[in-house]
Amino acid sequence: MKLSPKQFFTARLLEWNRQHNTRSMPWKGIRDPYRIWLSEIILQQTRVEQGLPYYERFIAHYPTVRDLAAAPDEAVFRLWQGLGYYARCKNMLAAARQIVQTFDGRFPDTYEQIQSLKGIGPYTAAAVASFAFNSPHAVLDGNVFRVLARYFGIDTPTDSTGGKKQFAALAQELLPPEQSAIYNQSIMDFGAVVCKPQQPSCGQCLLAPACVALQQQTVARLPVKSKKLVIRKRYFYYIVLEHQDQVFIRKRTGNDIWQNLHEFILLEMPAPVTASELLASPELRGVMNGTPYTMQGASPTFKQQLTHQTIHSQFLLLAATRKPAIKDYMAVPRTRLNSYAFPKTITDFLQNKSLELF
C-alpha cells in the first residue's frame, strides 16, 4: 500500500529513531515528570552541553519537587547562576511550590493541569505530558517548525498567528497517539541532528524522497519568520563602592532583565562614556550623594549577549573616604559577596580579578 506524504513522514521518522537513537541524555526515556520538566526548563534557550551540568546539580540538590519547593530562593538562584533568563528560574520555583500547594506534591498528569503551572507554555506542557504520561500532545519547538516547514514546503511565517495554528494542527495530525513520547522525541532529535538550521544532511535523509523543500530547492529559505530580531545595545557602568571591608549592592527588581539577581551601583548610560566622563557626570554625583571618594581603577569592558540585548559593562572601583549613605543599596562584607547570586557579566568581572577587590 502506498503511503501518503503524512504517513510516510511519521513512519520514516520513527524508523530513523530506531536506527539512530544516539542523543542519549539523562532525562531521555525516563517517565519522572519532575525530572523531565526540570530538563525542559533548563534547556529553554540553552544548549544541551551547557544545560547538562545544571540539570545534574539540580537533581543532586533537589531530588524531588518537594525538595525544590522547600528550598530558599537565594540558594536556587545561586544554583541557576550562569544560565541566564532568570525569569525561568523564578517561575520554576513558583511552579514547584504550586505543585506542593495545589496538587499536594504530586506532579499533575494532564496537559491542562501541567499548563496551569507557572512558566509552562504549550510546548513544555506537551513535552511533559507526552514524555511522562504518553499523552497525545504534539510538541512544537524550533526543530519541529523547521522539519515540518521543509518537508511539507510551508512558507507561512512560523511566528505569525496563522502560522502557529497551521503548524500546530499539522503537528497534531502527524502524531501517532499511542506513541506520542517516542514520536515527539524523534522529531526534535531529527531536527537537531539531520534537518539542522545550517547544512542539513539531505543526502542521508530518510525523508528526502518526499521532501518538498528538497524537490523545490527551498531548503535554505525555510522556515520563514516575519519578524526580524532587533538587538538593543545597553551600556552599564557599575560603581564598585568600597568602604572599609564593605561594598554596596542591591537586588534587582522591576520589569527588566536579571530580576532577583544582585548588582553593584548601576549607572546606565545611553552611549559609551569614558571613566573620566562618568566621574564628572551628574548621574554619578546623584548616586554618590555627597560621599567623598578616591578612584581606585577601572576594569575592561565585559560583554554579555542576551536574546534581544547586548549588555556592555564596565566596573569602576571607588573607595569612599567616609561612610556613604547610598539610597536603595546595602553594604555587605566583601568576603560575603559569593553568597549572592549575580548576573553572568558580574560573575565574569569578579572571576576576572581585573580590579583588586579582594
Would you please indicate which residues are annotated as catalytic (active-site) residues? Answer: 40
205 touches ligand SF4 by CB under 6 A? yes
Q: For residues 191 and 324, which CB has a smaller minimum distance to ligand SF4 in the complex?
A: 191
Among 83, 195, 306, 346, binds ligand SF4 (CB under 6 A): 195
- Residue written as grid cell 514546503: 153
223 touches ligand SF4 by CB under 6 A? no
Separation of alpha carbons 202 and 221, rounded Å: 14
Question: Are 112 and 187 a contacting pair, CB within 8 Å?
Answer: no
Among 125, 129, 214, 326, binds ligand SF4 (CB under 6 A): 214
CB of 51 to ligand SF4, least distance (A): 25
Among 219, 249, 261, 298, binds ligand SF4 (CB under 6 A): 219
Interface with ligand SF4 (CB under 6 A), residue total 15
* CA dihedral (199, 200, 205, 208) positive or negative: negative
**Stretch touching ligand SF4 by CB under 6 A, among 35-43, 82-90, 209-217, 347-355:** 209-217
Residues in region 329-348 near ligand SF4 by CB under 6 A: none
Among 30, 52, 100, 202, binds ligand SF4 (CB under 6 A): 202
234 DSSP 8-state letter: E
2 DSSP 8-state letter: P
CA dihedral 83, 85, 90, 95 (to 10 degrees): -90
Q: For residues 171 and 318, which CB has a smaller minimum distance to ligand SF4 in the complex?
A: 171
CB of 204 to ligand SF4, least distance (A): 8
x-or-dash string of contact with ligand SF4, 48-87, rule CB under 6 A: ----------------------------------------
**Stretch touching ligand SF4 by CB under 6 A, among 92-100, 119-127, 171-179, 211-219:** 211-219
Residues contacting 111, CB < 8 A, separation 6+: 125, 126, 129, 135, 137
Quick one: 32 exposed, middle or buried, by C-beta within 10 A (0-12, 13-18, 19+)? middle
Among 154, 213, 247, 311, binds ligand SF4 (CB under 6 A): 213
Among 94, 208, 319, 332, binds ligand SF4 (CB under 6 A): 208
137 touches ligand SF4 by CB under 6 A? no
Among 117, 127, 154, 207, binds ligand SF4 (CB under 6 A): 207
Among 151, 167, 302, 315, binds ligand SF4 (CB under 6 A): 151
Q: Give the CA angle between residues 137, 142, 143 to the nearest 5°.
A: 80
Separation of alpha carbons 202 and 257, rounded Å: 40
Report the Cα 262 to chain-centroid distance in Å: 19
Write the secondary structure of 268-304 as one string of H (helix), E (strand) and C (coil).
EECCCCCHHHHHCCHHHHHHHCCCCEEEEEECCCEEE
Q: For residues 217 and 253, which CB has a smaller minimum distance to ligand SF4 in the complex?
A: 217
* CA dihedral (327, 328, 333, 338) positive or negative: negative
- The contact set with ligand SF4 (CB under 6 A) reads 147, 150-151, 194-195, 200-202, 205, 207-208, 211, 213-214, 219
